[in-house]
Amino acid sequence: MSRMRVTPLRLLRAVLWSFLGVRRGADAARDIEAVPPHLLILAGVFVAALFVGGIVVLVRVVIVPRAEMTPSAERVQRVPTTVAKRHEHVVVDDTMQERMRPCTVCHGSVTETSADGFSPRVAGKPAGYLFNQLVSFRDGRRTYAPMVYLVQYMTDDYLHEIATYFAQLDLPYPAPTPMPLSPPLASRAEQLVERGDAARGVPACTECHGTRLTGIEPAIPSLLALPKDYVAAQLGAWRNGKLRSVAPDCMAEVARRLAPDDVPALASWLASQPVPPNMHAEPARANLPLQCGSVDVAVHPAASVASTRISKASAAVERGGYLVTAGDCIACHTARGGAPFAGGRPIDTPFGTIYASNITPDVATGIGAWSRDDFWRALHDGRSRYGRSLYPAFPYTNFTRVTREDADAMFDYLRTLPPAARANTANAVRFPYDTRLALAVWRALFFRPGVFENAHDRVSEWNRGAYLVRGLAHCDACHSQRNVFGAVGQKLDLGGGLIPMQNWYAPPLVSAVGAGASNWAPADIEALLRTGISPRAMAMGPMAEVVHRSTQHLSPEDTRAIATYLRSFARGSEVRRNSSGSADAATLTRGTAVYEDRCGECHGSNGQGAFPAYPPLAGNPSVTEDLPTNAIKAVLNGGYPPVTAENRRPYGMPPYLTRLSASDIAAVLTYVRTSWGNGAPAVTTFEIEKYR
């Protein structure tokens, strides 16, 4: 029986039926039976290509442009379409005004509303109040990401200086906003302000914020010159727990005691009040109606818990503290705002979330019942006190190289820390990675216990550097690519890679590819480790934390040893060229305008920068990496280098997350990556939205 002839249209309908049910199943089945297999495959590929092409068109033509228009257009600032004045010479003033550029981009003389919240006026507020707010962002009580990113590696001293600078600014206040209120609501608002509500336990606003509502030193702000929506949003956030301050949190308590109708009435009344002449906070009061943790801290500041050192200890314990610092143990084993080394910090991985354990000497929840042998087993074999295999988020694949003598010294130091009773948080790892079998297979494939052995054909300085880089400092935890099982292969070791989940690119350490460090001058490597800045790079993202908590405390001998080890991988002057960069004329024109308007004043029209304040962009390998991840994150989030002993008052870069559209950021990065001899690929809006 001869096959019936199938037209291309019937064939297409038959294939579409298999996807969408366009034609009746029985008819389509007969059509498919009559078609040679190779034609059926070609038709299937054609239909699949149509689907994929349709999705791409939908994303590129419809979704992305709409995303850029809303809500970005509501929150970004308009950038001139013509090129602004050129900046041939960059002048950097040694002032707090210059250092506070990242702050004044968002915080002006009035409180502004944006799509993701508010940028409140900070000028003229009490220094103690501003300091408490900055510390709350740094220590985890407040969570607005751009602010957290700016201050997360700052010391109390620098935050005090920032707070004092803004407290002394005397900028004009905005005019009040008339807010018509019904007589009952106006009366209720005046009652709350002047007399409070004893039945609900709400003190009068004047009791805490001053008789003129202009604030009280050292840490209570004014309630005037604030938009109604901002006051209402703040009270709502205090009420539902989204805002937190130092305990006891008096504002959260007041917000919970207010009746729901009180919040909009009070916000409207306060927004309509005029600002008195010479508005300054009143002197401190001996007694307040509620105990306020923020005031207590401002009056009696606690000692910083950031230090990992102890003042009086034996030489052995002091040495153990140095090794713990070199291993950066505090970074993972301390939750934001938590007690040092008490654990609880989440470590996100592609397989789930691991929570760092408590390694203080608390007997019930920490390592107080551990012995030196137990601690050695954890570092060397990757096993707990009871012999259970540990997840390799704890870098025992590196710590296995730590000597027994160093491990014992580290344990002895940890035993001197204040005990913190904090139970370990259960890990949240997905199946099947949460099974003991999966972990046993991983260990069998990718882990072999061993101790570092000196290379006899190398000098002692090189061996010390190798011990730190590959062992105690576990540099390849970030500076290496990982395979699908999350393991570092020998061929990928220290060759650079994208840090899983964090999406920062850690450049190679043993090659000169891109931003690779092996061809750096030793002095530049040492400077980055000690200060967080060097002519070749600035520490940002995860590396900023490493410098802040660990490498700045290394001895000059150890930083020199690390530089010696990394430099041993140099290959003359051979450096890989970036992929050829090119962009269309419209993008470059737009990028030029954005650059001169937002970037040129600090980085110069020729990309020359002004080191050490502002890094050069011309010939900067961190900017011209084929993978533009770090450059994108730098523009989106801005940031400061970490505060270090040798760079106590760093300069910073403003965040443009809410100030520039995705297309403007893509244009300016494309301009930078293709100008002044840079030859990197263009950046697309899709890449910007991926990291926004």
Q: What is the DSSP letter of 259?
A: -
pLDDT tens across 62-89, in order? 444 444 444 444 445 556 656 556 777 8
For 619-632, letters b (16+ CB in 10 Å) and e give: ebbbbbbebbbbbb
Which pLDDT does position 72 carry in this prediction?
Answer: 41
List, as one string, the DSSP characters of 263-331: HHHHHHHHHTSPPPSS--PBPP-S--SS--HHHHHHHSPPPPS-----SS--HHHHHHHHHHHHTTHHH
Partners of 354 in beta bridges = 347
CA distance 596 to 606: 10
CA distance 236 to 245: 14
325: which residues sit within 8 A by CB, 6+ positions away?
A: 308, 309, 549, 550, 553, 554
Which pLDDT does position 151 carry in this prediction?
Answer: 96
Which pLDDT does position 50 carry in this prediction?
Answer: 73
For 179-203, letters b (16+ CB in 10 Å) and e give: bebeeebbebbebbbeebbeeeebb
Which pLDDT does position 2 carry in this prediction?
Answer: 44
Which pLDDT does position 580 carry in this prediction?
Answer: 54
Of 266, 243, 93, nearest to 193 by C-alpha is 266
Neighbours of 275 (CB within 10 A): 17
Which pLDDT does position 297 carry in this prediction?
Answer: 81
Of 454, 615, 640, nearest to 548 by C-alpha is 640
Regions of the chain short of the pLDDT cut 70: 1-41, 43-44, 47, 56-85, 299-313, 490-492, 572-581
Of 532, 534, 507, nearest to 616 by C-alpha is 534
Q: pTM (2 decimals)? A: 0.85
Residue with tokens 């006026």: 121
- Two structure tokens written together for 199: 């039945």
Q: What is the DSSP letter of 380?
A: H
Beta carbons of 350 and 432 less than 8 angstroms apart: no
Cα within 13 Å of Cα(25), Cβ side: 0
pLDDT tens across 162-176, in order? 999 999 999 999 999
Farthest-apart Cα atoms in the chain, separation:
105
Of 534, 454, 496, 499, nearest to 625 by C-alpha is 496
Q: In 382-520, which residue ranges form alpha helices assigned H by DSSP? A: 396-399, 404-414, 436-446, 460-467
Beta carbons of 455 and 462 less than 8 angstroms apart: yes
What SS3 class is residue 85?
coil
CA distances from 356 to 353, 385, 458, 578 (A): 10, 15, 36, 39
Residue with tokens 């040495």: 319
Phi/psi at 651 (nearest 5 deg)? Answer: -90, 160
Cα within 13 Å of Cα(11), Cβ side: 19
Alpha-carbon Rg for the chain, nearest whole angstrom, is 30
The continuous run of DSSP H or E covering 352 comes out as strand 352-355
